[in-house]
A and B are shown apart, each in its own frame.
Chain A
Amino acid sequence: MSDVTLDPAPPVDAPQVKRKNRFKSVFARDRKAQFGLVILAIFILGALLAPFLAPYDPNEMTLNMMSSPSGDNLLGTDDLGRDLFSRILWGTQISLFVGVATVTLALVFGVLLGVLAGYYGGWIDMVIMRYIDLQWAFPNFIIAVYLVAVFGTGLLNVIVAIALAFLDDFARIARSMVLTLKEEQYIDAARVQGFSDLRIMLRHILPNAMAPIIVQATVSVSYAILGEASLSFLGLGVRADTPTWGLILSDGRSFISRAWWLGVFPGLAIMLVVLSINFIGDALRDALDVRETDI
């Protein structure tokens, strides 16, 4: 096919090589990023291997209630005699899954809206931007709370609610990137050759717009995990019999004066994961050369 050879290569090749080196040097230098990668890897492994690693069934109630951390129960037990370590380990699955699923949804649909708005302009842009302005009138967390209030709790609803709350961030970034890139000569060149809009958007605009989107996605995963934990803590999360970090904290809240471990460890898990992702996000921002104002 001749049009393949004529395809004006977007200037990604050269920066890509540079980018790879930059990645290496940033992550080799940045202690925080290394710490983040290690901690996150441990949590991901823990989530995947939870069925094998958890010493007890996370929902199994025993008479060994509110016992402090010991060899038998690494992080102690709760008021119903359930093993806190096993519950937190299983909770890792939910937290990480919600974080990734939410951001994937928000990214796909947000970027789609943003690219359409930026590329076509006109009434399409107007409709999409008015919708985004409307969403801008609510704090993100309030959107998620309201959506869960209307559609009910549960894993899927929580994911959709948080994803919708984040949608506008991705749409805004994608749109502004497209508006800048649209003026580039290689886009004109592609258009002159008669490539379809879809091809131009997918092959020429999107790859060059990815840097700020990747950084935003990383940061959003940490916000999504915090958001899910907050919803669960308020009783608006995944079902009451699923051990999620927010729910474990909420259940343990009444007993913290007698059992500090119920108040400390679930929150520590949330903080470690979110901190790791934030460290990685910060290094990515450096490596991809994204300025804070782009986001």
Chain B
Amino acid sequence: MLGYILRRLVGAVLVMLAVATLVFFMIRLVPGDPIAAMLADAGSQEAREAMTRRLGLDQPVIVQFFYWFGNMLQGDLGASIYGSNQPVMKILMEALPKTLSLALISFLIAITIAIPAGIIAATRKNSAADVGVSLFAFLGLSMPDFWLAIILIIVFAANLQWLPAIGYAPLADGFWPWLSHLILPGIAIGTGFSAIIARMIRSSMLEVMQADYMRTAASKGLTQRVVLMRHAFPNALIPVITVIGIAFALLISGAVVVENVFSIKGLGRVLIQGIQNRDYPVVQGAVLLISAFFVLTNLVVDLLYAVIDPRIRYS
């Protein structure tokens, strides 16, 4: 087990180093002169040279790379080249709690819908309820999250005025202000995600319900409820764990778009604003952070799976 963990850890670190290298050199492919683009027409020759020096762009690319890489390992991702020139790390750390809160609420909303839906669909296979869940899953997968976000704003914010239409409130302002700002974006992101999980739970439950131990449990005289919840459901969850990595990709991609609809200044909004402002250090940092989270999630999922199912470690 220890060997497996070590192998996977080293693998993840190598992937992250490669990701950082790739992200750095990709930005260097930006067509045209970034300095000219940043200073637009206003930049004089001196301003241009000063900026080039400040950003270290007068050095050879390979020197720039090692310089940047060394700083990155110490948690320094450079400074924004737009507006107040804040450190990129500071911008990202201010954005992170918002995106994490949003991801958490989206996740909770998704499983609250998906678990009952998946179980009902599996236990009443081919019933009206099953068909209903299947249709819901198709709709959830086919609806653009930003469109659902707009519809939710029209209905629940503009017309009914139950929930705020835009913005974010930190948890420090109180639980309800925090939560109320996250419910609509959470539903927008969580719906598509719940569709995937509900389908997984359904097919996994159907498989588990064929198992011998289910018949044993039933013949012991356990009630159907106990058989389903104690024996079938926990075992059905095992394969579902594998899609958590994919789910995270969905959550973060959803956040990138939906944060922009609700004006929540999380990682997604920072990323898109960075692109609009041609603020490359910020774009670079945001992409790095998102991918680091993604790699970490996949690593945790793999390790979790190896703990639950020992066969994985040896393959």
Residue of A nearest to B254 (CB): A141
Which of chain B's residues have a CB closer than 8 A to the CB of A32? Answer: 138
Known: A134-B22, A139-B252, A149-B275. A271 touches B142 (CB 8 A): yes
Contact (A279, B26) CB under 8 Å given A134-B15, A137-B294, A226-B144: no
Is B291 within 8 A of A234, CB to CB? no
Q: Which of A141, A150, A279, A282 contacts B27 (CB 8 A)?
A: A150
Q: Is the CB of A142 within 8 A of B291?
A: yes
Complex contacts, B144 vs chain A, CB 8 Å: 226, 229-230, 233, 246, 267, 270-271, 274
Say yes or no for A253: interface residue by CB 8 A criterion: yes
- Say yes or no: is B9 at the interface (Cβ < 8 Å to chain A): no
Q: Which of B48-56, B81-89, B145-153, B178-186 contacts A (4 or more CB under 8 A)?
A: B145-153
Stretch binding the partner chain, chosen from B57-65, B66-74, B256-264: B256-264
Q: Assess whether B18 is in contact with A134, with CB atoms less than 8 Å apart.
A: yes
Is B154 in contact with A256, judged by CB distance below 8 angstroms? yes
CB atoms of B18 and A256 under 8 A apart: no
Give A32 to B144 CA distance when docked, in angstroms. 20
Q: In the complex, are the beta carbons of A145 and B29 less than 8 A apart?
A: no
Bound state CA distance, A236 and B271, in angstroms? 12
Question: How far apart are the CA atoms of A292 and B294 in the complex, in Å?
Answer: 23
Q: Are B260 and A234 within 8 A (Cβ)?
A: yes
A133 at the binding interface (Cβ < 8 Å): yes
| A137 touching B295, Cβ below 8 Å | yes
Question: Among A78-86, A111-119, A206-214, A257-265, which stretch is in contact with chain B?
Answer: A257-265
A146 contacts the other chain (CB 8 A) = yes
Fill in one digit per residue for B285-310: 1 if any A CB lies within 8 Å of its CB, else 0: 00100110011001000000000000
Q: Are A260 and B271 in contact (CB under 8 A)?
A: no
CB-contacts of A128-183 with B (<8 A)? 133-134, 136-142, 145-146, 148-152
Range for the number of chain A residues in contact with chain B: 35 or more
Contact at A149–B256, with CB atoms within 8 Å?
no
Give Cα A222–Cα B31 distance, bound, in whole angstroms. Answer: 31
Inter-chain contact A256/B150, CB cutoff 8 Å:
yes
Is A10 at the interface (CB under 8 A from chain B)? Answer: no
List residues of chain A with CB within 8 A of the CB of B298: 136
> How near does chain B come to A122, taking the closest CB pair, in angstroms?
20
Pairwise interchain contact B290-A139, C-beta atoms closer than 8 A: yes
Residue of A nearest to B159 (CB): A257
Q: CB within 8 Å of B: which of A247-295?
A: 249, 253, 256-257, 260, 263-264, 266-267, 270-271, 274-275, 278-279, 282, 292
A222 to B257, CA, bound (A): 17
Check A141–B256 contact: CB distance below 8 A: yes
- Do A234 and B272 have beta carbons less than 8 Å apart? yes
Q: How far is the CA of A136 from the CA of B298 in the complex (A)?
A: 10
B106-152: which residues lie under 8 A (CB-CB) from chain A? 138-139, 141-148, 150-151
A235 within 8 A of B: yes
B160 in the interface (beta carbon within 8 A):
no
Selected from B158, B271, B276, the residue in CB contact (under 8 A) with A257 is: B158
B253–A142 CB distance below 8 A: yes
Q: Is the CB of A236 within 8 A of B15?
A: no
* Residue B30 lies at the interface, judged by CB distance under 8 Å to chain A: yes
Cα A235 to Cα B253 in complex, Å, equals: 15
**Secondary structure type dominating chain B contacts:** helix
Smallest CB gap from A144: residue in B: B253
Nearest-neighbor residue (CB-CB) of A292 within chain B: B203
Q: Given A139-B252, A270-B144, A271-B144 in contact, is the A263-B31 Cβ separation under 8 Å?
A: no
For the complex, what is the distance from the CA of A142 to the CA of B141, rounded to whole Å? 19
* Contact (Cβ within 8 A) A279 B138: yes
A279: chain B residues at CB < 8 Å are: 138
A79 to chain B minimum Cβ distance, whole angstroms, is: 15
Tell me the smallest distance from the CB of B46 to a CB of chain A, in Å. 29
Q: Tell me how far the C-beta of B243 lies from the nearest C-beta in chain A, rounded to whole angstroms.
A: 10
Whether the pair B275, A236 counts as a contact (CB closer than 8 A) is: yes
| A179 CB to nearest B CB, Å | 14
Mask: chain B, 230-271; 1 = CB below 8 Å from A; 0 = not: 000000000000000000111011001100110000000001
Q: B13-32 vs A: 1/0 string, CB under 8 Å? A: 00110110011001101110
- Distance, CA A134 to CA B143, complexed state (A): 29
Which of A138, A230, A292 is within 8 Å of B291, CB to CB? A138
Contact of A260 with B146 in the complex, beta carbons under 8 Å:
no
Nearest CB of chain A from residue B208's CB, rounded to whole Å: 15
Q: At the interface, yes or no: B105 with Cβ under 8 Å from chain A?
A: no
By a CB distance below 8 angstroms, the chain A residues around B154 are 256-257, 260, 263-264
Does B158 contact A256, Cβ atoms closer than 8 Å?
Answer: yes
Q: A249-B146, A256-B153 are in contact. Are A146 and B138 (CB under 8 A)?
A: no
B283 interface residue, CB < 8 Å from A? Answer: yes
Shortest Cβ distance from residue A56 to the other chain B in the assembled complex, whole angstroms: 24
Other than the known A138-B287, A138-B291, A274-B142, what 6 A-B pairs have Cβ atoms closer than 8 Å? A139-B248, A141-B253, A150-B27, A257-B154, A263-B150, A267-B148
Residues of B at the A interface (CB closer than 8 Å) are 15-16, 18-19, 22-23, 26-27, 29-31, 138-139, 141-148, 150-151, 153-154, 158, 203, 248-250, 252-253, 256-257, 260-261, 271-272, 275-276, 283, 287, 290-291, 294-295, 298
**17 A-B pairs in the complex with CB atoms less than 8 angstroms apart:** A138-B287, A139-B248, A142-B290, A151-B30, A230-B257, A233-B146, A234-B257, A246-B146, A249-B150, A253-B261, A257-B154, A257-B158, A260-B154, A263-B151, A271-B143, A271-B147, A275-B139
Interface residues of chain A, those whose CB is within 8 Å of chain B, are 32, 133-134, 136-142, 145-146, 148-152, 222, 226, 229-230, 233-236, 246, 249, 253, 256-257, 260, 263-264, 266-267, 270-271, 274-275, 278-279, 282, 292
